[in-house]
Amino acid sequence: MKTNALGKYRPYLHFAPQKNWMNDPNGLIFFEGEYHLFYQYHPNSSVWGPMHWGHAVSKDLIDWEELDIALYPDEHGMIFSGSAVVDWENTTGFFPNVPGLVAIFTYHLNGEAEEEITQTQGIAYSNDRGRTWVKYEGNPVIASESKVDFRDPKVFWNKEAKNWMMVLATGQTISFYSSPNLIDWKFESEFGEGIGLHTGVWECPDLFQLQVTDMNEKKWVLLVSVGDNPEFETGSQTQYFVGEFDGRTFKPDHDTIHLLDFGKDNYAGVSFSDIPQIDGRRIYLGWMSNWRYANEVPTNGWRSQMTLPRELSLQKIGREYYVNQLPVKEIESYFSIDSAIDSEVSYENGTRTYPVGNPFVDCSINIERVNAQQFEVTVNHSKDESTKIAIDYNTSVVRLVRKDSGVIDFSSNFIDDQLVKVGNINELNLRIIIDSSSIELFINEGQYALTSLVYPDHACESISFSSIDGSVVLRDGYIAKPSEDHLNE
Ligand code: FRU
């Protein structure tokens, strides 16, 4: 087995910076054959500090090459989160010859006194595929109004209205702005008061349209991350709304709370801009951490990693619409099937263990309950370390238990179980992607996602399946190991 030369806990399949601190993904965009991942970055320390935009590029969304820092703080402040677009029609006037990239981001300025914080929106442009950037001389392009929290612009071209739209987090609401040229912005509307989850400040919004699976219908999805608040157990998490957007205002179809992920470790995620129409996917990735303990996780010299990029889709169940997510198909070439998990196997109060011993794993099983009260998948990281995924048939809850998963004592909150209540628990598909320090669980083809960090000595020595008080049948499952190409890289 290849040893991870880059240091303990460093992921193989997930992006992590070589050194120092990272948080939110920023400026996700596809341009001229490359995916760009910019990110909140502190180049001088492995804890949060003055924010820059770090930069990496990839041809396949999995294998990333880290490049030089893209944006540095200046007299207007640190560079907080934001987005990027291709200005195809030269609406800005920055690209008289060929189209280029524009980054739209928040400037965060600390005044003399601690309470004197100003957040404004700035732009910068690049003529060389994102390698170097020129800040617009008229920055900031949107000055903060009365709100202190005024950040994380996500911009897209609205085809119908033929203008740019910005969604901006403004305290515990989302504000919508429009512009003909990315420079002059007009306030359109504000959404969020009295609806959704308000346990913390709203951050990192995204707005996009998705086709409803198997239906002749499209809906708008508004993602909103909700910041950590010590008064609540959950830490930071992400919610979404599904509804209509008429180019000026957003109206949700529901007043229920929808969480994007039931694990603790998926925050501030947004989607890629300018994915070619012929591809047509809505690809998303999040920061795989939680503000509750992000600065304390036990990595050395580097901190934080992103989730796997995921393809989003929308499913109508009953009268409501739900976002589904699955890892992008590009990860398939990183795996080859190792063990097929036999169909028609039942476990009468038994445990069956499959040896693995690989640095990263993709496992999928279909579980049909016969009469078991519980079923457990145990990821045995090493002799003494394991993470359990437990299905409780009486409560319809799937629970990820990481209390024995390795190092957990850096935060009192890390030990808590993570759980999701699922519909139709008697027939489940679990897809489990294990990397050096994470487990991403996708239930029923991505209907529910649960993303969780773990800090074991090894990724996975073996996987066990146990049924408790009765039996289940496993069908068409597999455990996939790294493909030869990727194991020997
Ligand atoms: C979300 C966030 C953003 C902000 C950035 C600062 O994690 O708090 O709202 O722009 O991080 O690094």
Residues in the chain: 489
Worst-scoring range by mean pLDDT, 3-17, 39-53, 159-173, 191-205? 3-17
**Does residue 486 register a pLDDT over 80?**
no
Q: What's the confidence (pLDDT) of residue 343?
A: 61
Q: DSSP per residue over 311-376, as a string? A: EEEEEEETTEEEEEEEE-GGGGGGEEEEEEEPTTEE-SS-EEEEEEEESSEEEEEEEEESS-SEEE
Average pLDDT in the 17-40 region? 98
CA of residue 433 to ligand 1 center, whole Å: 27
**Together in a domain, 305 and 340:** no
Q: What's the confidence (pLDDT) of residue 337?
A: 82
**Does residue 485 register a pLDDT over 80?**
no
Q: What's the confidence (pLDDT) of residue 5?
A: 47
Q: Comparing 111 with 385, which gets the higher pLDDT?
A: 385
Active site residues: 24
Residue nearest to atom 9 of ligand 1 (CA): 203
Q: What's the confidence (pLDDT) of residue 114?
A: 67
Label residue 349 by pLDDT band (50, 70, 90).
confident
Average pLDDT, the chain: 95
**Does residue 266 register a pLDDT over 60?**
yes
CA of residue 288 to ligand 1 center, whole Å: 14
Label residue 484 by pLDDT band (50, 70, 90).
confident
33 φ/ψ sector (left φ>0, alpha ψ -120 to 50, else beta) = left
Question: What is d(CA 253, CA 298) in angstroms, rounded to the nearest whole number?
Answer: 42
Would you call the peptide bond into 359 cis, given omega within 30 degrees of 0 as the criterion? no
Question: What is d(CA 474, CA 345) in angstroms, rounded to the nearest whole number?
Answer: 6
Pocket test for ligand 1, best of 204, 206, 267 (most atoms within 8 A of CB): 204
* H or E element that contains 240: strand 237-245
CA of residue 291 to ligand 1 center, whole Å: 10
Instruction: Please state the atom number of ligand 1 nearest to the C-alpha of residue 106.
Output: 10
Pocket test for ligand 1, best of 151, 170, 303 (most atoms within 8 A of CB): 151
The residues facing 30 across adjacent strands are: 35
Q: Comparing 192 with 6, which gets the higher pLDDT?
A: 192
Residue that terminates a domain, selected from 274, 303, 327: 327
Query: What is the CATH number for 117?
Result: 2.115.10.20
**Together in a domain, 206 and 338:** no
Q: DSSP per residue over 17-57, as a string? A: -SSEEEEEEEEEEEETTEEEEEEEEETT-SS--S-EEEEEE
**Together in a domain, 356 and 305:** no
CA of residue 333 to ligand 1 center, whole Å: 33
Residue that terminates a domain, selected from 295, 327, 359: 327
Helices (H) and strands (E) in the chain, counts: 1, 35
pLDDT per position as a tens digit, 226-252: 999 999 988 999 999 999 999 999 999
Instruction: Please state the atom number of ligand 1 nearest to the C-alpha of residue 204.
Output: 9
Q: Comparing 424 with 448, which gets the higher pLDDT?
A: 448
pLDDT per position as a tens digit, 62-92: 999 999 999 999 999 999 999 999 999 999 9
**Together in a domain, 37 and 114:** yes
CA of residue 151 to ligand 1 center, whole Å: 8
Q: DSSP per residue over 363-416, as a string? A: EEEEEEESS-SEEEEEEEEETTEEEEEEEETTTTEEEEE-TTSS--TT-TTTTS
Question: What is d(CA 217, CA 208) in angstroms, rounded to the nearest whole number?
Answer: 14
**Together in a domain, 146 and 201:** yes
Pocket test for ligand 1, best of 24, 117, 118, 168 (most atoms within 8 A of CB): 24
Contact (Cβ atoms closer than 8 angstroms) between residue 30 and residue 276: yes
Average pLDDT in the 145-155 region? 92
**Together in a domain, 314 and 362:** no
Residue nearest to atom 8 of ligand 1 (CA): 203
**Does residue 6 register a pLDDT over 60?**
no
Q: What's the confidence (pLDDT) of residue 344?
A: 59
Instruction: Please state the atom number of ligand 1 nearest to the C-alpha of residue 236.
Output: 7
3-state secondary structure of 294: helix
- Domain region containing 460: 331-487
**Together in a domain, 481 and 399:** yes
CB neighbourhood size of 420 (10 A): 19
User: pTM of this prediction?
Assistant: 0.96
Instruction: Please state the atom number of ligand 1 nearest to the C-alpha of residue 51.
Output: 12
3-state secondary structure of 451: strand
470 φ/ψ sector (left φ>0, alpha ψ -120 to 50, else beta) = left
**Together in a domain, 408 and 439:** yes
Long-range contacts, 157-166 (Cβ 8 Å, 24+): 157/85, 157/88, 158/247, 160/247, 161/247, 163/247, 164/85, 164/91, 165/207, 165/247, 166/104, 166/121, 166/142
Question: What is d(CA 284, CA 475) in angstroms, rounded to the nearest whole number?
Answer: 30
**Together in a domain, 237 and 90:** yes
Q: What angle do CA 215, 219, 225 make, to 5 degrees?
A: 130
Instruction: Please state the atom number of ligand 1 nearest to the C-alpha of residue 169.
Output: 9
Look at strands 134-135 and 151-158 and give their pairing.
Answer: unpaired
**Together in a domain, 72 and 179:** yes
Label residue 453 by pLDDT band (50, 70, 90).
very high
Label residue 488 by pLDDT band (50, 70, 90).
low
Query: What is the CATH number for 394?
Result: 2.60.120.560
**Together in a domain, 364 and 453:** yes
**Does residue 51 register a pLDDT over 90?**
yes
Q: What's the confidence (pLDDT) of residue 487?
A: 62
CA of residue 139 to ligand 1 center, whole Å: 20
Q: What's the confidence (pLDDT) of residue 7?
A: 78
**Together in a domain, 318 and 460:** no
Instruction: Please state the atom number of ligand 1 nearest to the C-alpha of residue 48.
Output: 12
Residue that terminates a domain, selected from 273, 305, 327: 327
pLDDT per position as a tens digit, 392-445: 999 999 999 999 999 999 999 999 999 999 999 999 999 999 999 999 999 999
Pocket test for ligand 1, best of 22, 52, 121, 152 (most atoms within 8 A of CB): 152
Average pLDDT in the 274-302 region? 97
Burial class (CB in 10 A: 0-12, 13-18, 19+), 168: buried
CA of residue 51 to ligand 1 center, whole Å: 9
Question: How far apart, in Å, do the first and last CA atoms of the chain sit?
Answer: 12
How many structural domains does the chain have? 2
Site residues for ligand 1, CB cut-off 6 Å: 23-24, 40, 51, 80-81, 106, 151-152, 203-204, 268
Residue nearest to atom 6 of ligand 1 (CA): 80
Q: DSSP per residue over 298-309, as a string? A: S-SSEE--BPPP
